[in-house]
Structure 1
């Protein structure tokens, strides 16, 4: 499991200093029902606006 999760979305409630993610878990999904092949085909469902 990743030791540090980095995030540059400072409008997220889980964004922390030094671009760290402070969420206790991360949920990533594909844009569609097919398998994602690139990061641009995914979304972070953990995001919550501040």
Structure 2
């Protein structure tokens, strides 16, 4: 069964259960959080909480 992918959402973490060919994401939704509370100054201060190891 082919999974639906999120338009415009790319993911290079190919050991995630939601990773699909072409670096696409098949999660129903994604959650990105800041490591620094409610604000982030750069990409390194954020994490994808949707990740699940395949």
Whether TM-score is above 0.5 comes out as yes
TM-score, with length taken from structure 1:
0.88
List, as ranges, runs of 4+ consecutive aligned residues in structure 1 with deviation greater than 4 Å: none
5+ residue gaps, structure 1, are none
State the number of aligned residues.
Answer: 49
1:17 to 15, 21, 31: 21
Give the distance between the partners of 1:34 and 1:46, measured in 2 at CA.
18
- Structure with greater helix percent: 1
Q: Which runs of 5+ in 2 are unaligned?
A: 1-5
TM-score (norm 2): 0.82
